[in-house]
A and B are shown apart, each in its own frame.
Chain A
Amino acid sequence: MATTNGAVENGQPDKKPPALPRPIRNLEVKFAKIFINNEWHESKSGKKFATYNPSTLEKICDVEEGDKPDVDKAVEAAQAAFQRGSAWRQLDALSRGRLLHQLADLVERDRTILATLETMDTGKPFLHAFFIDLEGCIKTLRYFAGWADKIQGKTIPTDDNVVCFTRHEPIGVCGAITPWNFPLLMLVWKLAPALCCGNTVVLKPAEQTPLTALHLGSLIKEVGFPPGVVNIVPGFGPTVGAAISSHPQIHKIAFTGSTEVGKLVKEAASRSNLKRVTLELGGKNPCIVCADADLDLAVECAHQGVFFNQGQCCTAASRVFVEEQIYAEFVRRSVEYAKKRPVGDPFDVRTEQGPQIDQKQFDKILELIESGKREGAKLECGGSAMEDRGLFITPTVFSEVTDNMRIAKEEIFGPVQPILKFKNIEEVIKRANNTDYGLTAAVFTKNLDKALKLASALESGTVWINCYNAIYAQAPFGGFKMSGNGRELGEYALAEYTEVKTVTIKLSDKNP
């Protein structure tokens, strides 16, 4: 997924690509308050909460802690910005797109700052934050900027002497609750289509990782989005998250996080005002390696697929099914990879894996690792915390995993690769689909028929063939079953942020 960062000159790639970007040492956090109406506010309660750097375990700074009254204030601002006749409602669609492009420009300008903040707050390697998270943010903003004036309704030939057409209108005030694994990117995945379609938003970034969202707030103000169009309320799930999910004047909510909390969000949404809901939840994603696969490619993709981002991806390849003929060799090569994986300081350019996000996740992962050992999986490497180094866990591989083990059923969200064996395609399809999750799946094969068959049979929102984590702003992403509702990215995302109005005009039956 890494980009080459090579510049293009008159159609030819730059033969000497620029040197690697460097993080900003001793970066000062400028934005740590609640962002409403393009202004920075203290919390109504006066409370603050701390955000920590998971590599050093030190506090980065205090952030204003929002609660229901702050959410109410944000919603008021968002509603006002959405009134008919407001600056935002009257803006040409093309101009909305222009603002999104300009926001992308500023994200590009502040790319190093944002990547540094993201690394401080999440512990992910700085180069990953710079080349993957930030690249995704910029591309997603630009992609949806282009859609703004291409959101088209239809004129429709109905029965009777009427003129019938649809308007594709914005929904109104949209709430978004975003996670800590890709804080800025997951926020942009929601913000871009929401604004592109003309909505106003109230966002809650994860309490573990609020900093990049708040910096983005400053850029939104700098670009010149009208006040109230974007509002950001940092805080906790049971307070701010719950307030947004059940707010009667929020008409749509988008949530990315665990399936467990996703259910709470949907319940609250329904119980309050039946607000529209999109959810991006967990996964226990099958990665199917057939005997005829390009083995090197499969091993590498499966490895990155599960270990990327410290294993903290909803797309993690956390059930690797390998056809029995190549099983032993696959395990051997995967263990080699895992043992070589550089774990360490996320600001070190050699590091591929940083710490887990917090103690709670750390404990959960270790507990699942223990369950793997207890339930009879074969521990091939890793299996414990790195000695005396905070929240770091050694890259762990289990083989001889069977379907009923906890590590084969529950989402681990850590650097643990369970490898299972299969005999034939029909069997692996059943086993891969035998889960309430259905976010992504991957298939490694050279055979055309097998590829198309698996692509069609797997109950997943995304199927990757001979690749992994191939995510693009242009292609929709989302889950089957309990991995989520609705789709983000691509043209499909627009439907989630649009309310369709049908207008039918009766024409006079008399001659005019």
Chain B
Amino acid sequence: MLRAAATLGPRLGRRLLSAAATQAVPAPNQQPEIFYNKIFIDNEWHDAVSKKTFPTVNPATGEVICQVAEGDKALETLDNGKPYVISYLVDLDMVLKCLRYYAGWADKYHGKTIPIDGDFFSYTRHEPVGVCGQIIPWNFPLLMQAWKLGPALATGNVVVMKVAEQTPLTALYVANLIKEAGFPPGVVNIVPGFGPTAGAAVASHEDVDKVAFTGSTEIGRLIQVAAGSSNLKRVTLELGGKSPNIIMSDADMDWAVEQAHFALFFNQGQCCCAGSRTFVQEDVYNEFVERSVARAKSRVVGNPFDSKTEQGPQVDETQFKKILGYINSGKQEGAKLLCGGGPAADRGYYIQPTVFGDVQDGMTIAKEEIFGPVMQILKFKTIEEVVGRANNSNYGLAAAVFTKDLDKANYLSQALQAGTVWVNCYDVFGAQSPFGGYKMSGSGRELGEYGLQAYTEVKTVTVKIPQKNS
């Protein structure tokens, strides 16, 4: 989300208002014409072999936008429900930066010449892996597409991408741009469809050399199993999280409250790295909870095309029901419901910003990924205790620390078992810095130079020479 979102976060409402007011963000076309809703192969548009189509639904209204061929700018908001201003200023900004970043790597990912023993000349070639299957989610459709295409194409691979059935439209629009840009036919192919059909086909295909998946841990498991059972294709996974956000008693309180709010509620709570366990040191617990509740109550939920909106609907009915289910479990298991707790409107999939206090580690809402606007606040005493509790999870995607103390920041950033540790910030992303999970939050890293490794096959060439000289 870059510094853009992190700065947007705490003053989200005000910044967005002024951005829209001064026309930094162009007005959305709320009824864009859908040009691209078929399957993109070899730079051409195809109907599904089965001729089947599936509907894609506008989550703000529950209505069908259009039918999309099922193969196994205004568009992203229509399809996903995220506020338009965010979609423009954050998602799109990051997409451009990611693509430009990887464009720069294309001719710089060097192999090496190596001083091997004996009369030999040895070097490595960094070759593309080959056909890369990429299965992307619905929470940041365009951005996740860019995160996958950038490194894959920079290193010379070809791609078969299955886009999420909930949000296929922007990816298909980009497909046409790929053709316009002049990529040779067959380099990027995009197949909209469902997991059990199209997704499974990609994961188990004998001629796909590598699969990259972003989505739930549950499905990630299936992907890895399919990869292993078929042709041992290389696998990278970006899965779920239950990321701890640790607020020390010496933290800047105003900043910590805003960031913690942003950490959980951004994108309707639908972030793999959402700060969904907010651990607050006991000295500042009460004040923190009070301020967080006030902030959650002031969060503006509404029509995503309205520039004042901070929170749109959840992506679909399945998620909507699942989140309400978790809220119920919270109530039943004895967490203290401090605000929200139910749907926010009669139409569409809107949920009230919800805050639970006095959450205990054993509760369902403290262990399972909710993926909705539900904040859990837990109390802790000591730094050693919170490290133990934060790490006590099969997840390990991200973590954050709010403190002014140099030693505490270093201690926690070393101790936390998470692929990204944010210190005095949250959700700061850059195309330059790698992102990925420890443990069951995933394997491998995306972004940065590290992101190239998964898309590279290293070949060592060793040539006999008459006499080696250093």
Contact = CB atoms under 8 A, between A and B. Distances in A.
A505 B407 CA distance: 10
Contacts of A9: 182
A97 B104 contact: yes
B108 interface: yes
A452 B463 CA distance: 9
Contact of B108 (A8, A448, A456, A474): A474
Nearest to A142: B104
A9 B179 CA distance: 10
A8 B107 CA distance: 19
B465 A452 contact: yes
A38 to B, nearest CB: 25
A474 to B, nearest CB: 5
B358 interface: no
Contacts of B467: 453
Interface string B104-141: 11111010000000000100000000000000000000
Given A10-B43, A505-B410, A512-B411, A147 B108 contact: yes
B55 interface: no
- Max chain B Cβ within 10 angstroms of own Cβ: one of A11, A93, A145: A11
A499 interface: no
Contact of B182 (A8, A163, A456, A491): A8
Contacts of B407: 507-508, 512
A167 to B, nearest CB: 14
A507 B103 CA distance: 39
Interface string A74-99: 00000000000000000001100110
A152 B107 contact: no
B383 interface: yes
Contacts of A160: none
B410 A507 contact: yes
A430 interface: no
Contacts of A364: none
Contacts of A146: 103-108
A50 interface: no
A457 B468 CA distance: 10
B102 to A, nearest CB: 9
Contacts of A135: none
B177 to A, nearest CB: 13
Contacts of B47: none
Interface in A470-499: 473-474, 491
B97 A94 contact: yes
A170 B432 CA distance: 18
A511 interface: yes
A11 B465 contact: no
B385 interface: no
Contacts of B465: 449, 452-453, 456
Interface string B403-431: 00111101100000000000000000001
A452 B107 contact: no
Interface string A1-31: 0000000111100000000000000000000
A242 B463 CA distance: 49
A94 B100 contact: yes
A146 B432 CA distance: 12
Contacts of A456: 121, 465, 469
Nearest to B468: A456
Interface string A500-512: 0000010110011
A149 interface: yes
Interface in B84-113: 97, 100-101, 103-108, 110
B448 to A, nearest CB: 9
Interface string B458-469: 000001011101
A94 B431 contact: yes
A505 B101 contact: no
A453 B466 contact: yes
A94 B432 contact: yes
B410 A11 contact: no
A512 B466 CA distance: 60
A147 B104 contact: yes
A511 B384 contact: yes
A444 interface: no
Contacts of B362: none
A150 interface: yes
Interface of B: 43, 97, 100-101, 103-108, 110, 121, 179, 182-185, 187, 383-384, 405-408, 410-411, 431-432, 449, 463, 465-467, 469
Nearest 10 interchain pairs by C-beta? A146-B104, A11-B184, A508-B407, A512-B407, A512-B408, A512-B411, A149-B432, A474-B107, A452-B465, A507-B410
11 contacts: A9-B182, A10-B182, A11-B183, A97-B104, A150-B449, A449-B466, A453-B465, A473-B107, A505-B406, A507-B407, A507-B411
Interface of A: 8-11, 93-94, 97-98, 143, 145-150, 152, 163, 448-449, 452-453, 456-457, 473-474, 491, 505, 507-508, 511-512
Given A94-B432, A147-B104, 18 more contacts: A10-B184, A10-B185, A11-B182, A11-B187, A145-B104, A146-B107, A150-B104, A150-B449, A448-B463, A453-B467, A456-B469, A457-B469, A491-B108, A491-B110, A507-B410, A511-B383, A511-B384, A512-B407
